[in-house]
A and B are shown apart, each in its own frame.
Chain A
Amino acid sequence: MMVMAETIDDERLVEQFNRGDESAFDRIVEQYSSDVASLASRLLGWSGEVEDVTQDIFLAAFLGLKKFRCDCSLRTWLFTITVNKCRSYRYKRMLRKRRISQVADKAIDESAGSADKKSMDNETFDRIRRAIQALPAKYREAVVLRYLQELPAEQISLILGISKNALQVRLNRARARLRDDLGELTKEKL
């Protein structure tokens, strides 16, 4: 019911925008910017580039909104743009900062073992986040959308352009990798 209402609202906004009412775009930004920013933050590894990426995502949406045919919800469409933009950003960042990141990761790994409990928790969660970021893009995207954004499988399939079965395979493989990477942590935690 809620999805239905959201879709109707999306269509109305898109129609207004196509008629030249740019205030419709303001409402779209207002409605979805936080979700888009959250997803971008998670896909980019909780880095500080979110604002720039979010601007680029909504710029792409502004330029492409007239071509939007309402085959899916506006949220799904925006998340698709987000996933694609984050891929581009990660690729560019990987090329730009590959060496620096390696040095930083090594330093962080070596700093493990603090006696402070809070500090230990922070390091643990950092390690978990790094494990997520270390996953291949197709697994990382599936994990973020499924476990962090908590989107339904159908929507994730639409966003990633894959079947549900393929999504399930990716999630299984991602979990296996995370188990390998975070085995000791899970024992401690559990």
Chain B
Amino acid sequence: MTEDKIKNLLQEADRMAGLPGAVSANLSAIVRRRAHRRHLRISLTAPLAAAAVILIAAGIWNLAIRTTEKTKDQEKIVLLEKQFEQLQAKTDAAINLIQEVLVAEQKKDSLDELEAQLASIPDPLEEIQIQVDKTAFILVYQADRLYRELNRTDSAVETYNRVIELFPKNRWAQVARERLSEIDSRKFNKIDSKGELKWKPEIVSLSC
């Protein structure tokens, strides 16, 4: 098919389709009206868009400020919480210290009380020593009476010997030794000077 044939065919088909409907008589008026509306819309759109942008920016700014304030409040709260925790820790430490001091004082009081009680208990060794002393004294006293008042020298010597045997380191053992020595020396004197008794043992005082 040649170009002209195609052209003829296309033009025939175009012709058969008919011309487009008549363009509106007031097309230019319509176009001008639309153009003015568009111009008005554009002229209004810019300020409106600017206002919208400003509003949005203000909203964002306000939100940002609120968020920042909130953050500051939160920071303050966190700081206060930390301070509170520190104070709590200090208080706990002070309470623990006070409790420790109180416990120590209680222990000290108990110890003092125990020491006082212990101090009030007499020393058993001293008691024994006193009893030993007393026993030795009584024995020496009985021996002196046997010898001086009853003239029972043998019994007295035996008792002195018992004191020396039982309480060798006691002072009354020393007294008993002195008595025995005197008895021996008196026996010796009695034998030498006609058998008279010159020395008499003194009664031992009961004061200890």
For B13, the chain A residues whose CB sits under 8 A away are 124-125, 128-129, 132
Distance in angstroms between the alpha carbons of A132 and B27 in the assembled complex: 29
For B7, the chain A residues whose CB sits under 8 A away are 147
For B125, the chain A residues whose CB sits under 8 A away are none
In-complex Cβ contact of B34 among A38, A59, A148 (8 A): A59
Distance in angstroms between the alpha carbons of A163 and B27 in the assembled complex: 34
Chain A CB within 8 A of B12 CB: yes
From 1 to 31 in chain B, residues with beta carbon under 8 angstroms from any chain A beta carbon are: 1, 3, 5-7, 9-14, 16-21, 23-24, 27-28, 30-31
In-complex Cβ contact of B32 among A37, A62, A132, A175 (8 A): A62
Chain A CB within 8 A of B35 CB: yes
Contact B27 A58 (CB under 8 A): yes
Contact A54 B23 (CB under 8 A): yes
* Besides A30-B28, A46-B20, A189-B9, 7 other A-B contacts (C-beta < 8 A): A29-B28, A33-B27, A42-B14, A46-B17, A55-B30, A58-B28, A62-B35
Interface on B for A, CB 8 Å cutoff? 1, 3, 5-7, 9-14, 16-21, 23-24, 27-28, 30-32, 34-35, 38
Interface on A for B, CB 8 Å cutoff? 22, 25-26, 28-30, 33-34, 37-38, 40-42, 46, 48, 50-51, 54-55, 58-59, 62-63, 121-122, 124-125, 128-129, 132, 143, 147-148, 171, 175, 178-179, 182, 185-186, 189-190
- A-B pairs with lowest CB-CB distance, top 6: A128-B13, A41-B20, A29-B28, A125-B13, A125-B16, A46-B17
